[in-house]
Chains A and B, each alone.
Chain A
Amino acid sequence: MPRVAPPAAVLAFAALLAASLPAAAADDEFRLVIQDHKFQPAEVVVPAERKVKLVVENRDPTPEEFESHALNREKVVAGKATVTIFIGPLKPGRYPFVGEYNEKTAQGVIVVR
Chain B
Amino acid sequence: MFATAVIVFREVLEAALIVGIVAAATRAVPGRNHWLAAGIAAGLAGAGLVALGTDRIAEMASGVGQELFNAAVLGIAVVMLAWHNLWMSSHGAELAADARNVSNAISDGRRACSVLLIIVGLAVLREGSETVLFLYGIAAADGGGSWPMLTGGLAGIAAGVAVGYALYAGLLRIPLRWFFTATGVLVLFLAAGMASQAARFLIQADILPGLATPLWDTSALLPQTSIAGVLLHSLVGYEARPAGMQIVFYVIVLIAIGAGMRWVDSRGPRPARQGAAS
Interface residues of A, Cβ cutoff 8 Å to B: 1-2, 4-6, 9-10, 12-13, 16-17, 20-21, 23-24, 27, 51, 53, 55, 61-65, 69-70, 72-73, 75-86, 88-90, 100-101, 103-104
- For B209, the chain A residues whose CB sits under 8 A away are 17, 20-21, 23-24
B134 & A6 in contact (Cβ 8 Å cutoff): no
A86 & B58 in contact (Cβ 8 Å cutoff): no
Q: Report A62 CB to chain B, min CB distance, Å.
A: 4
A1 & B263 in contact (Cβ 8 Å cutoff): yes
Using an 8 Å CB-CB cutoff, how does the interface string of B57-68 with A read, 1 for contact, 0 for none? 011001110110
B200 & A72 in contact (Cβ 8 Å cutoff): yes
Q: A13-B248, A76-B54, A76-B58 are in contact. Are A100 and B255 (CB under 8 A)?
A: no
- For B266, the chain A residues whose CB sits under 8 A away are 1-2
B130 & A2 in contact (Cβ 8 Å cutoff): no
Q: Which of A4, A55, A83 contacts B259 (CB 8 A)?
A: A4
Using an 8 Å CB-CB cutoff, how does the interface string of B113-132 with A read, 1 for contact, 0 for none? 00000000000000000100
Interface residues of B, Cβ cutoff 8 Å to A: 3, 7, 54-55, 58-59, 62-64, 66-67, 130, 133-134, 136-138, 140-141, 200, 203-206, 208-211, 213-214, 219, 223-225, 239-245, 248, 251-252, 255-256, 259, 262-263, 266-267
A83 & B136 in contact (Cβ 8 Å cutoff): no
B58 & A72 in contact (Cβ 8 Å cutoff): no
A9–B214 CA distance with the chains assembled, in angstroms: 21
A76 & B267 in contact (Cβ 8 Å cutoff): no
Q: Which of B66, B138, B243, B252 contacts A13 (CB 8 A)?
A: B252
A69 & B263 in contact (Cβ 8 Å cutoff): no
- For B55, the chain A residues whose CB sits under 8 A away are 78-81
- For B54, the chain A residues whose CB sits under 8 A away are 63, 76, 78, 81
- For A103, the chain B residues whose CB sits under 8 A away are 3
A5 & B136 in contact (Cβ 8 Å cutoff): no
Q: Which of A51, A70, A81, A100 contacts B58 (CB 8 A)?
A: A81
B3 & A72 in contact (Cβ 8 Å cutoff): no
A75 & B66 in contact (Cβ 8 Å cutoff): yes
Q: A51-B206, A63-B134 are in contact. Are A72 and B252 (CB under 8 A)?
A: no
- Chain A residue at smallest Cβ distance from B249: A13
Q: Report A35 CB to chain B, min CB distance, Å.
A: 14
A72 & B243 in contact (Cβ 8 Å cutoff): yes
B255 & A6 in contact (Cβ 8 Å cutoff): yes
A69 & B203 in contact (Cβ 8 Å cutoff): no
Q: A63-B133, A101-B137 are in contact. Are A9 and B267 (CB under 8 A)?
A: no
A65 & B263 in contact (Cβ 8 Å cutoff): no
A69 & B224 in contact (Cβ 8 Å cutoff): yes
- Chain B residue at smallest Cβ distance from A22: B209
Q: A24-B209, A62-B140, A78-B55 are in contact. Are A86 and B241 (CB under 8 A)?
A: no
B267 & A83 in contact (Cβ 8 Å cutoff): no
Q: Which of B62, B224, B255 contacts A84 (CB 8 A)?
A: B62
- For A82, the chain B residues whose CB sits under 8 A away are 63
A62–B149 CA distance with the chains assembled, in angstroms: 15
- For B64, the chain A residues whose CB sits under 8 A away are 84
Q: A6-B252, A76-B58, A83-B63 are in contact. Are A101 and B7 (CB under 8 A)?
A: yes
- For A83, the chain B residues whose CB sits under 8 A away are 58, 63, 66
A102–B259 CA distance with the chains assembled, in angstroms: 45
B255 & A5 in contact (Cβ 8 Å cutoff): yes
B251 & A86 in contact (Cβ 8 Å cutoff): no
B259 & A69 in contact (Cβ 8 Å cutoff): no
Q: Report A79 CB to chain B, min CB distance, Å.
A: 8
B213 & A9 in contact (Cβ 8 Å cutoff): no
